[in-house]
Chains A and B, each alone.
Chain A
């Protein structure tokens, strides 16, 4: 009996030791805030910070969905084109003017966007699970499809909201604020709270992590792996739709270039947040933190004069690589 006891001591790594990986993104965020202050004292002003976080809303919300897909062992490259596609259809629907009352029209358009987002996610999910195609390839394909359909819908140009009155009603969804807090920030946190509850507290969330951790174990435990994965893609689609609901009132227009490279930013936010790219570990609040980090890095570059803001893409690319290296070294250390 003693040898069993010693065996457990021999490798002191326990579930608790993973906490380092969970804390790391928040430490990085704090360091960035300090760095930002030294680069330009204006950075730390409440107005600027609220502004930065507001702008991170699209990526943060999409990345919450990506947290589900990635934790379950999948990947979705189509989210950027999906934003463009869903937003375009939503604007076209509103422009069609089939419903006279602007408020009712907006509600219907919002529901349509959510249904479309869920449907796009369902397509991704079914192709990867029932069609048994690698998620990388499947969503690379749908990325092209959603993007191409958007280009076709817009005939290469822009799709713009036409109804001025409706636009005025819709505007506050992005530009408004409640008790001094911009609406998009509230939506980020509400979405994240729901995502965290589902992932950490419900049966489905536990199944997501189990499937991503080891598909076979999940299957042998009686979990329907395909169902769990497909639902993760649907959740991703719904998150994209929520991002669209914020995006449309901001610009009131889409084009073939809407949401380009957003998939890269969303995946970066997820990985920076500490979610394992191979699946099995999901960190909802880490993802939100990761999205903030991405936006703040861009903002610091804008406010400071050291680095050209044209290098933002390169810096974000570097961040994902650094995040992976940090993640790996944190796991090895223990």
Chain B
């Protein structure tokens, strides 16, 4: 139905895509997988009319076409569900769904009709959201549904999903996959981009693997196991994604949080962290994990008792907790972690500037040395050292953020979603760094929505649901099932 024939794309002097042949048939889900930078998103943008190919052509129903823009592609029935949520947060669900194509009644907009049709569109996706709700009040998963509903309102023959599950929990992912199956059942062709191989295995009829801008393999999904896919993506074996741990945590408790509440997000949370331990925090998006951690380090107002090496401490401001050797790495790398428009050096030393001040002045030579050291130690891959942080790939940004906070030589490190949006090669390295930090005697808290990763690296996992710590899984019980049961509350019968 939709086809790319020998498509190449060059930005400047760099060839991002080379001789790509991809097609999608009616009623099939065709997954495009590959590491970050492999060219998946660029390919999708070409198919959806955002970019024009440098060479090669697109064809619909065997006839060559060229899109002058996304509107053109939509007219031809090709729609793209963006990875990022592109909704106006202060408008309602219905207003967002009909934004730019409002239904009119005479001179005014027909709110009633739009609300009805928006509700219907969302019901078609198997969900129930009041169309008059303001989008700001929705969860990420709900927003994603609204965005999908908005896209599906366009008459479509091909739907492209660009990493739709990147910020969803397993539960929500499952719901989304069902939506995609429904779309497929209607004879629509689906192109599906994802990092997450198990779900690709689950949903895809065909899988095409991109590496360095080329198609390295294209198979029926039945012929490929996730392990094969991973090997094809990276070009080597990734059986050992998680590092070997040497020596478990010590007895000594370094941080004790008791009855800690963050108004509106977390209630009466208590936990202990031991020296050299990697403690995982699992839960659905919105369970209050991030907010609890931000409360503990003083980035958000919270109250409760915190003891550091047995001594009661006041971490009501982040300056206090930093001084005590507690650092928090935000899940929002681009928004809260790094200054994207500043260079690597400025970013690296931002949190620890006082170490670089000599008689009032910042010692730039010392900063440059520190950057060299960080690039070596954390394997930050950059061609030049004077590029801006925003130009690094996601994985390298995460390494830079890690390096930045490690400049403080912290005793306790809280990492929120350490590998979100990062390719497998970089993930493996990040896990190694985390394991190494623990071996050095630091204590680590990892907050993550990716259960395999928590199971792979944590000594112990606490599960949160609706602001409460609802359970702990250790040893043999560390499996996805146990965690999901706790995270969703299925065991207590409170939720379906």
Contacts and interface: CB of A to CB of B under 8 A. Distances in A.
A280 B322 CA distance: 24
Contact of B381 (A4, A10, A201, A218): A4
A5 interface: yes
Contact of A213 (B12, B38, B342): B342
A1 B381 contact: yes
B343 A15 contact: yes
Nearest to A281: B341
A203 B357 CA distance: 7
A8 B212 contact: no
B386 A15 contact: yes
A2 B382 CA distance: 10
A201 B365 CA distance: 12
A15 B361 CA distance: 21
Interface stretch (A127-135, A182-190, A220-228): A220-228
B330 A220 contact: yes
Instruction: With a 10 A CB-CB cut-off, give which of A4, A10, A203, A217 has the most chain B CB atoms.
Output: A217
Contact of B362 (A7, A203, A222, A280): A203
A217 B212 contact: no
A173 B35 CA distance: 67
A8 B383 contact: yes
A164 interface: no
Nearest to A6: B14
B361 A8 contact: no
Contacts, number: 118
B475 interface: no
Contact of B388 (A2, A6, A7, A13): A13
B386 A222 contact: no
A9 interface: yes
Contacts of B71: none
B388 A222 contact: no
B392 interface: yes
Contacts of A1: 381, 425
Task: Indicate the member of A7, A224, A280 with the most B CB atoms within 10 Å.
Answer: A7
Contacts of A217: 335-339, 350
Contacts of A328: none
Interface in B148-202: none
Nearest to B396: A4
A14 B342 CA distance: 9
Nearest to B321: A222
Given A8-B391, A203-B362, A213-B341, A2 B212 contact: yes
B177 to A, nearest CB: 28
B292 to A, nearest CB: 16
Given A202-B357, A202-B360, A220-B336, A14 B37 contact: no
A11 interface: yes
B388 A10 contact: no
Interface residues of B, number: 51
A15 B342 contact: yes
A165 to B, nearest CB: 41
Contacts of A214: 335-336, 339-340
Given A4-B37, A203-B357, A280-B341, A220 B318 contact: yes
B406 interface: no
A9 B212 CA distance: 14
Interface string A199-240: 001110011011001101111111110000000000000000
B391 A11 contact: yes
Given A216-B335, A219-B299, A222-B351, A14 B386 contact: yes
A13 B392 CA distance: 12
Contacts of A14: 343, 384, 386-388, 391
Nearest to A212: B339
Nearest to B329: A220
A13 B387 CA distance: 7
| Residue of B37, B337, B341, B388 most packed against chain A (CB within 10 A) | B341
A6 B37 CA distance: 8
A6 B16 contact: yes
Contacts of A210: 339, 342, 346, 350
Interface in B1-56: 11-14, 16, 35-38
Contacts of B357: 202-203
A6 B12 CA distance: 11
A219 B350 CA distance: 11
B319 interface: yes
A3 interface: yes
Contacts of A333: none
25 contacts: A1-B381, A3-B35, A4-B381, A6-B37, A8-B384, A9-B12, A10-B11, A10-B16, A14-B386, A15-B387, A15-B388, A201-B360, A203-B357, A206-B362, A210-B339, A210-B342, A214-B335, A214-B336, A214-B339, A214-B340, A216-B335, A217-B338, A219-B336, A280-B339, A280-B342
Given A6-B14, A8-B384, A210-B339, 9 more contacts: A3-B38, A5-B383, A203-B353, A203-B362, A210-B346, A214-B336, A221-B404, A222-B319, A280-B341
Interface of B: 11-14, 16, 35-38, 212-213, 299, 317-319, 322, 328, 330, 332, 335-343, 346, 350-351, 353-354, 357, 360-362, 381-384, 386-388, 391-393, 395-396, 404, 425
When A and B form their complex, which 9 residue pairs have the shortest distance between CB atoms, in order from nearest? A3-B37, A221-B351, A4-B381, A15-B343, A222-B322, A216-B336, A8-B383, A203-B353, A14-B387
